Every structure is written in structure tokens, then in C-alpha cells.
Structure 1
Amino acid sequence: MEFIFECARSGLGSQEKERFPVNTHNVHFSPAMEQKFRIPEVNPSDMIVIILSLELYFRLIPKNSGLLNKFSDSIKLGKSCSLFDSYVTFTTWIQSVLNDIDKCNYVGELKRLYLENKIQELLLLHFDLYQQYHLNSQAQKISDENFEKLKEAKSILDTNYVNAPSLKELSKQIYLNEYALKKEFKICFGTTIKQYVISLRMKYAMDLIKEGEHSITDIAHKCGYKGLVQFSTAFKKFYGKPPTSLSRLI
């Protein structure tokens, strides 16, 4: 992933010199890539490049997740590819995550987990942006009316994920039948309703852990889980470690 604030890049080999506008980004994969970055001497320059191994990429974005099948398939086949045809402008959310990474003061295991979480968040933001630019053929079949209802459903979950409505309740709120809601939500947003709610809860849980002022039991309840075991299982599945191991590092 490359995030360019002020930079000119020249590639090696057959690549020709390219210039990119400021405040742009893209995601690339190459099995063997060598690059040179030419930084102007007279202008303040800043650039963030995040390099991921295949193992880490597919741990953050599982192979069976359904997100960006075409991009992930190219990676699995070892074919060079880019997420976007050209560099695209930062969103407010991407800028916010980059600032979090830049200001990270954690050390050791907590720093590693925090940065992996932020990188995963960046990937998801990229994928969300990609889906806005390139709706697949299935999404193009969704009516404008249903698309607006699906955005409303996502907005409801964004603000009520702690006490998220059931599929039946959400269906009634947006006046869309359960089958269409379940199927078309995944098409539009690249994840199931259940997994989307879990991701929101887990991000909230991590924020509470970082505050260092709450017990794990309290965090479980604040995130909408009735029991500690249920919360710990979900947390470990999402982050790869139980919440208790992180709370001791605060």
C-alpha cells in the first residue's frame, strides 16, 4: 500500500517515470518488484509505504472472505496487479487511520497488534472505496431503491452495533425482505451483516482496552455480549489473541 503526500516516483526496468498527485493512494501486488523513489529537495515530502507478506495479507483478509475476489485471485496466482487503475484521493477515514499509525506510541506486542489492526482497517477502507468505484455485475442488478435501503441498513448498524437489531427487525426497519437484505448487503459491502456487526464491536472493544480503565467483563457487556466466554471467543477469532493478554500490556 502506498500513501503519497508529496512524491515523484520513477520505476526501474520498463517502467517509465511517473508523477502522482498529492494525497493519493493505491494497493499493489508484485511477486518481484524493485522501485526507486525520487523526492524533491525543495518541497516538504511525506510518504507511507506499507509492505505486507502474503501470509500476513491473507491473515488480515482471509482467502474465503469474498472481498475482492479478482484482486485476491491475482495474488494467489502470483500475477502483478493494482487495486485501482490509477492513484485515488484520500478519504477522511483513510487520513484518520494514517494519523493513528503515525502517532502510535505503543511498544512490543501491543504495538504489533495495534498496527496490524490499523493495516486491516486500511485494507477494508480500500476495499470499501473500490466497491464504490467498481460495483460488480451482481451489484449493478440491485435496484436504486434497494441500494438506498441497504445504505440505510448499514447506517443503522453503524450506530446500533452494540444492541444490533436482528435480521428480521432490520428488515422491517428498512422495508426490505430478509432474503434480499441478507443477500444484497453482502454484495454491496463485501461482508455479511453478522460479520459487519462483529467487526464494529471488536474495534470498539480494542478502543476500550487501550483506555485501560475497564475490566474485560465490563468491556464484554459494553460491546453487546452477554457473557465473557462469548466475547473472548469472538475477540480471539478476530484478533488472534484473547483480550486478557492485551489488557495486561496496557
Structure 2
Amino acid sequence: MKITLNFSDLQDMTMEHAFPDNYHYLGEPIVERTTSLECFGGTGSYREIFFEGVHIAYGDLRLKQQTILNFESDFETVEMHFDLSGNTLTNISGSNRMRYEFNSNHHNIIYVPGIKGNLHFNTMSTQVLEINLSIPLFKKFIADTEIFTNFIQEINQQNPAMLGRHNMPITPAMVSLIRSMLDCKKEGMYKRMYLEAKVVELLLLQLEQFAFHDCNSFCSLKPADMEKMHHARDIIFTRANEVHSLRRLALEIGTNEFTLKKGFKEVFGTTVFGMLSDLKMEEAKRLLSEGEKSISEISEYAGYKNCTHFTTAFKKKYGVTPGKYKVEL
């Protein structure tokens, strides 16, 4: 199993990236490696984690110019793709041509057989998480699910395919899971077990989002309004503590409160303040896991003046009080 890479402007510099069969190094419960990247004056890193049936890869690339990366692979995979920042465009050539684009904070699930194509980095900074699953492992989870029948058929026919017609927005719960995976300090079999559980949980969130997605509502928005809703979401994710009113947020993205409320719910399946609350609760959960701040400090960060109200909200969302969650870690 290997993939061959070269940059369009540097055809004489070709790299081969090898993968063990089924992503599993025999005799090792889990294997990690990090590759430093330098190209066109840019820098970055590519961090990989391998265990049976799963390959987790986190790429962080900072370029000085837009770049095209040519690739050719000799194996099939199902990829859980999360574009954390930046914009990328992939073209698959040959008889099964396919084209897919990802903007910041979006995800999808992609099937690719052995393919040839190119990847366009359209922004100077790109952060991507890719979780490659073996075909048997992926089918284990969705083989009997009727709504995903077409995707399974494409896999069986070895045609490149995407699970969702649209890329979907990454949710606060997904962000929390991704952070916990990348920050995991466990080792050996314990790390493998931890990451296996998180990969399945992340896959569950993806599948649920696609299964319950209302395509008619999503598609009814004008492209300009869709872009504004995503702008609002980016503001919530990057400046959560500055979002105090719908009116101010609507003004910043160039629309009115009614359009913001209606459009945001249609695109993301939740309200502005529902997403804001979820984001802060996921961050509160992470801070509790770190154990460096008191519950009262975390309560204040989450926007609760009364610690009791925070405890009630936390228990309602996670089924356990903050204090008990902290003790059980």
C-alpha cells in the first residue's frame, strides 16, 4: 500500500509514502510518526497514527503561495475527512472522474479506490484531519443501513464517491472529539483503545448528521445567504466570547436578525445560541478533563454567573455533574 506524491512546480521531486497492510504494523498495538514538510518556502507537519483498520492523519501546512500536489495511490480506503481550516480542491482523473472541494470547518465521508489526481491548496494555511478506515471495518458499521445503500454500492463497484451530496458543518461535539484525539497522552494498547472509541464516536456523529439532514431546507438558501451563515458560524467558533446578541452578529455578516435566525437553523440544525452553548459546554468539558481550573472558574467561562445553574446544565447535557465528571477521569 503506497501513495506517490509530487508538486506540480517540482516534478523532479517525487515522494513515496508507504502504508502497512490494513494500516497495521504486526506486533505493534499502535504506531505513530510525524513528517516535517517544507515546500515553496512554506512549512508544516504531517502526523500519523496507525492501528488495525485505522489510519489517523493530521496535516498542518503553511504556504507562501497556492500549491498543487499530484498524487497516485494503489489501495482503496474510506476517509472521514475534516477540513479544519483553509480551502482545498481535489480532482480525480481517469475513467471515474470526480471533483470535490472543502471549505474551512466542513466534513464528509469519501470512498476512493486506487486513484490518480491532484490536490489544490487554495489558501496559505491549511489544517486537515483524515481518518482512513479499511473497507471491512467501515462496512461493519453501515452495511445494513438503508439510507447509505447507494454509497455501499459505489464501494462495491469501486467507484469514487462521497457519502453526502453536501459537505456538512463540523459541530462543537466533533471539535471536542478531534481535540481529545490529537491531545491524547495515553500510550500503547490504552491509546489504541481510546482512539478506537473516539473514531467510532466521531463516525457516529457524521452518520447521524447525514441521516437527519434536511436537504430541501439546506438547498433552498441562496448561495450568498449560505455564505453568510457559514461566516456567522466561523465567528461563533473563533470569537465565542464576543457573541452577545443576534442583532450585532447579523450586522457583522451583512443580513438581518430574521434571516440569520431562519437560515442558521436550516443550515446547522440548531440556533445561534444553541451552537454557542454547545461550544462552551464542550470547552468546559475539556477544561474539566485538564484539571487545571476550578469548577467555578469553568462555570464563569461558560457564561454562568451562578455555578449551580452551570452544574444543572452540564448534567442535563452529559448526564453527570461537573464534580463527578472530574472525579471519574
TM-score by length of 2: 0.44
1:238 to 2:317 alignment: yes
Alpha-carbon distance in 2 for matches of 1:230, 1:50: 43
Of 133, 147, 150, the match for 1:81: 147
Aligned to 2:217: 138
8 Å Cα contact 1:25-1:89 kept in structure 2 = no
AA aligned opposite 2:148: S
In 2 relative to 1, CA 201–168 (structure 1 residues): closer, same or farther, beyond 3 Å? same
In 2 relative to 1, CA 163–224 (structure 1 residues): closer, same or farther, beyond 3 Å? farther
Alpha-carbon distance in 2 for matches of 1:51, 1:226: 46
Of 242, 246, 262, the match for 1:183: 262
Cα distance, 1:179 vs structure 2: 1.2
8 Å Cα contact 2:295-2:323 kept in structure 1 = yes
8 Å Cα contact 1:97-1:122 kept in structure 2 = no
Q: Percent identity?
A: 27
The answer to which structure, 1 or 2, has the higher relative contact order (CA under 8 A, 6+ apart) is 1
AA aligned opposite 1:166: S
Alpha-carbon distance in 2 for matches of 1:153, 1:186: 12
Alpha-carbon distance in 1 for matches of 2:257, 2:233: 14
Cα distance, 1:145 vs structure 2: 1.4
8 Å Cα contact 1:235-1:243 kept in structure 2 = yes
Indicate the RMSD between aligned Cα atoms, in angstroms: 4.6
In 2 relative to 1, CA 224–118 (structure 1 residues): closer, same or farther, beyond 3 Å? farther
Cα distance, 1:136 vs structure 2: 1.4
Q: What SS does the corresponding residue of 2:277 show, helix, strand or coil?
A: helix
1:79-158 superposed matches below 5 A: 80-82=146-148, 85-86=151-152, 97=178, 100=181, 103=184, 105=186, 121-126=202-207, 130=210, 136-158=215-237
Q: What SS does the corresponding residue of 1:24 show, helix, strand or coil?
A: strand
Structure with greater proportional helix content: 1
8 Å Cα contact 1:162-1:223 kept in structure 2 = no
Of 162, 166, 181, the match for 2:245: 166
Alpha-carbon distance in 2 for matches of 1:83, 1:232: 42
1:210-247 CA distance string (max 9 Å, x none): 11111100111122222212211221111111101112
AA aligned opposite 1:235: F
Unaligned 5+ segments in structure 2 are 1-20, 24-52, 54-74, 82-131, 156-160, 188-194
1:201 to 2:280 alignment: yes
8 Å Cα contact 2:250-2:257 kept in structure 1 = yes
In 2 relative to 1, CA 102–222 (structure 1 residues): closer, same or farther, beyond 3 Å? closer
AA aligned opposite 1:173: E
After TM superposition, what 4+ stretches of structure 1 lie above 4 angstroms from structure 2?
45-52, 86-91, 93-96, 101-106, 114-122, 125-128
Aligned to 2:105: none
Q: What SS does the corresponding residue of 2:328 show, helix, strand or coil?
A: coil
Task: Give the count of matched residue pairs.
Answer: 184
Please identify the structure whose Cα radius of gyration is greater. Answer: 2
In 2 relative to 1, CA 241–99 (structure 1 residues): closer, same or farther, beyond 3 Å? closer
Alpha-carbon distance in 1 for matches of 2:183, 2:295: 28
AA aligned opposite 2:268: F
Aligned to 1:24: 79
Cα distance, 1:6 vs structure 2: 3.9
Cα distance, 1:171 vs structure 2: 1.2
